[in-house]
Amino acid sequence: MKIRHNYWHKRIPIRMRLALWYLLSFGAILLIFASFLQSRIRKGLEKEADESLKLAATRIIENMADDNGKLVLADDEALAGMENDYSVYILAPDQKTVWDHFGVERALFLNPGDKPGFFTVSNRGSKNWEKHENWRVYSQPVSEGATSGWLQVMHIYDQNNLIRVVRGHLVFAVPLGMILGGIGGIFLASRALRPIDEVTQTAQRITTRDLHQRLNYDGPNDEVGRLALTFDQMLDRLQAGFERERRFTGDAAHELRTPLTALKGQIGVTLSQPRTPAEYVETLHNLEQQVDRLVRLSGDLLFMARLDYCIQQRQIEPIVLGDWLAALEDQIRPLAEAKGIILTSQIQPALTVKGNMDLLIRLFLNLLDNAIKYTPDGGAVTIEAHQADNQVLVVISDTGPGIAADQIPHLFERFYRVENDRARHHHSMGGAGLGLAIAQEIARLHGGQIMVDSVVGQGSTFTVQLPK
């Protein structure tokens, strides 16, 4: 589990967080847009003013004449359309005015210096100008024949007024846009999260008693669709697990109850009338055998129940098969000898498997026990091990009665017993039906499997496939 950080923003519900992020990005876009708009308007106005100043200057230069060493405007027609808001100066090289035209009374003479080009002057420091009044000025050196000087054209420049108006609108428009954006953000977040709410509500209705219900989310395969699908798949696994567990518990209880009932019956019969000590001893011997079987069964049940947990806890180590199978063989040999069964092994040298030794001992002892149990007296059990591709195959063959083909698929089921099981007649030998289930489970936990091959009347072959 992750450590929970108490950052303030993690405590805001996701709906509000989404809406806030939406609002923030929307506001940022609005602000960028507003400043872009403002700067485009400013640039556009400036360009327009500059073009008209340049045009005026060109017209004046075309109509300029040299009047005894002074530059003057020869034809007043050049000033057509420049009556208002324009001021024109022609200056001598020493900056003295030699000719001027005022479109407005209050226009001021400006010293252009020797810098040609455009500039803006504002009204600051002059009583003659109106508040917020700006002038755009264009200066350029001019000459007519031998006479040279400066031309300066000025125009009232009300760019800032327009921008102020635009800005005034934006001051209202941007917050209004943000409010609308915020409402939109909340709406969008709610829309986006509604399917999750639906999934949550359905999930709340599903309890352990009601595991067969599914979300069955009817929507596109998007984030929510995948979440719902994952949830359904998890429920499938949970349901299968619960059902397996329930079946297992039921089967286990049944398996324990039957022999216990039989025990109780025998005790009752024995106690119903006085018996000789010899009879008591015989009964106790019988009971002991059955109790032994119950002890084995409960041990198997415990082992099986803990198997999944065990593999994570136990270490995996390389096992040298030759020596290890020989040790197993030693273990099983007395059982084989008691029945006159010939036990032989043929193990490819230098073969190793990676696995948990405790569990693998269980696996092979179960298989070898079975092989000896089902092989008639005087038969043969062989152990053979070799490598095939990346796997190690350990083959245990017996000369027992064999297993019918229709029973093979059930062989590894818990509590399954082959019908007409002769071994069951001997209580001391009859297994609980868990041996093969445990063996298969161990092989599976090691990433391998057990395969069965059998011919009725000739014998069975169990092949354990394990990763190298």
Partner 1 sequence: MDTATRQVRRAGHLIDLSPREYAMLEYLMRHPNQVLTRTQIGEHVWNFDFYNESNVVDVYIGYLRRKIDTGSDYSLIQTIRGVGYRISEDENQA
Using CB under 8 A, list all residues that contact partner 1.
Answer: 299, 302-303, 306, 310, 313, 315, 317, 323-324, 326-328, 330-331, 357-358, 361-362, 365
382: part of which helix (H) or strand (E)? strand 380-388
CB of 363 to partner 1, least distance (A): 11
The amino acid present at 436, given as its one-letter code, is L
CB of 433 to partner 1, least distance (A): 18
Q: Do 185 and 23 meet the contact criterion of CB atoms below 8 Å apart?
A: yes
Per DSSP, the three-state class of 146 is coil
For partner 1, give the closer residue by CB, 123 or 298: 298
For partner 1, give the closer residue by CB, 262 or 357: 357
For partner 1, give the closer residue by CB, 324 or 412: 324
- How far is Cα 266 from Cα 268, in angstroms, rounded to an integer? 5
Query: Which residues have a Cβ under 8 Å from the Cβ of 313 and sit 6 or more positions away?
Result: none
CB of 446 to partner 1, least distance (A): 16
For partner 1, give the closer residue by CB, 223 or 323: 323
The amino acid present at 158, given as its one-letter code, is D
CB of 381 to partner 1, least distance (A): 17
- Dihedral angle at the C-alpha atoms of 336, 337, 341, 347, nearest 10 degrees? 60
DSSP string, 305-354: HHHHHHHHHSPPEEEEHHHHHHHHHHHHHHHHHHTT-EEEEEE-TT-EEE
For partner 1, give the closer residue by CB, 78 or 301: 301
The amino acid present at 220, given as its one-letter code, is P
CB of 366 to partner 1, least distance (A): 10
Q: Do 451 and 440 meet the contact criterion of CB atoms below 8 Å apart?
A: no
The amino acid present at 115, given as its one-letter code, is K
CB of 297 to partner 1, least distance (A): 12
- How far is Cα 99 from Cα 404, in angstroms, rounded to an integer? 126
CB of 317 to partner 1, least distance (A): 4
466 bridge partner residues = 392
For partner 1, give the closer residue by CB, 63 or 331: 331
For partner 1, give the closer residue by CB, 99 or 364: 364
For partner 1, give the closer residue by CB, 198 or 369: 369
CB of 328 to partner 1, least distance (A): 6
DSSP string, 299-313: HHHHHHHHHHHHHHH
DSSP string, 149-191: EEEEEEEEE-HHHHHHHHHHHHHHHHHHHHHHHHHHHHHHHHH
